[in-house]
Amino acid sequence: MSAALLSVRDLSVAVNGAEGPRTLLDHVSLDLSPGEILGLVGESGSGKSLLCRTLLQLLPSRALSVTGGTAMMGGRDLLALDEAQMQQVRGAEIGMIFQNPSSHLDPVMRVGEQIAEGLRFHRRLDRAAAKAEAIALMGQVGFTDPPRQFGAYPHEFSGGMRQRAMIAVALACDPKILIADEPTTALDVTIQAQILRLLMELRESRGLSIILITHDLGVVAQTCDRVAVMRQGQVVEVGEKRALLAHPRHSYTRALIASHPSMPVDDEADEVDDVTDPADAADPARVVVLPSRPLVEIDDLDVRFPVAGGLFGRRRSFSAVAGVSLQIRPGETVGIVGESGSGKSTLARAMLGLTPVSDGHVAFDGLSLRGQPGAALARIRQQAAMVFQDPFNSLNPRLTIGQTLAEVLRVQGKVAPAAIPARVEELLRLVELDPALAGRRPRQLSGGQCQRAGIARALAVDPRLIVADECVAALDVTIQAQIVALFQRLVATMDLTLVFIAHDLAIVRHLCTRVVVMHHGRIVEEGLCAEVFERPREAYTAALIAAIPDIDPDRRLIAPPPALAV
Q: Does any domain span residue 89? A: no
What pLDDT is attached to residue 380?
94
Distance CA 106, CA 3 (A): 38
Rg (CA), the chain: 25
Q: Which of 371-375, 382-386, 546-550 has the lowest mean pLDDT?
A: 546-550
Tens digit of pLDDT for each residue in 182-241? 887 767 777 788 888 888 888 888 889 999 998 888 888 889 999 999 999 999 999 999
- Over 90: is that where the pLDDT of 79 sits? yes
Tens digit of pLDDT for each residue in 478-511? 888 888 888 999 898 888 999 999 877 888 988 9
Contact 55, 78 (CB under 8 A): yes
Residue where a domain stops, chosen among 140, 174, 208: 174
CA dist 478 to 119, 389, 455, 527, Å? 41, 17, 17, 28
Of 290 and 45, the structure prediction assigns the larger pLDDT to 45
Residue where a domain stops, chosen among 174, 193, 208: 174
- Over 80: is that where the pLDDT of 366 sits? yes
- CA-closest candidate to residue 527, choices 294, 334, 290, 276: 334
What pLDDT is attached to residue 265?
47
Tens digit of pLDDT for each residue in 119-137? 888 888 999 999 999 999 8
Distance CA 71, CA 208 (A): 18
Q: Do 300 and 164 reside in the same domain of the chain?
A: no
- Over 50: is that where the pLDDT of 266 sits? no
Distance CA 197, CA 218 (A): 14
Q: Which domain holds residue 515?
A: 281-308+317-550
Q: Does any domain span residue 241? A: no
Instruction: Give the strands of the sheet with 94-97, arranged side by side.
Output: 94-97, 177-181, 209-214, 37-41, 226-231, 234-240
What pLDDT is attached to residue 53?
92
Query: What is the SS3 assignment for 3?
Result: coil
Residue type, 175: P
What pLDDT is attached to residue 217?
84
Of 287 and 242, the structure prediction assigns the larger pLDDT to 242
* Mean pLDDT (the chain, rounded): 86
Q: Does any domain span residue 252? A: no
Q: Do 478 and 357 reside in the same domain of the chain?
A: yes
Q: Do 297 and 154 reside in the same domain of the chain?
A: no
Q: What is the mean pLDDT of residues 287-293?
A: 55
Q: Does any domain span residue 181? A: no
What pLDDT is attached to residue 513?
94
Q: Do 160 and 292 reside in the same domain of the chain?
A: no
Domain count, the chain: 2
CATH of the domain at 287: 3.40.50.300
- Cα angle value 334/335/336 (rounded, 5°): 120
What pLDDT is attached to residue 167?
87
Q: Rounded to an integer, what is the distance from CA 201 to the centroid of its chain? A: 23
Q: Rounded to an integer, what is the distance from CA 104 to the centroid of its chain? A: 18
Distance CA 71, CA 79 (A): 6
Tens digit of pLDDT for each residue in 382-394? 999 999 877 777 8
Q: Does any domain span residue 463? A: yes
What pLDDT is attached to residue 186?
64
Q: Does any domain span residue 134? A: yes
Q: Does any domain span residue 44? A: no
Tens digit of pLDDT for each residue in 305-329? 886 555 555 667 788 899 999 999 9
Alpha helices in 56-106 (DSSP H): 83-89, 101-104
pLDDT band, very low/low/confident/very high, at 288 (cuts 50, 70, 90): very low
Q: Do 289 and 152 reside in the same domain of the chain?
A: no
Residue where a domain stops, chosen among 118, 139, 174: 174
Q: Does any domain span residue 380? A: yes
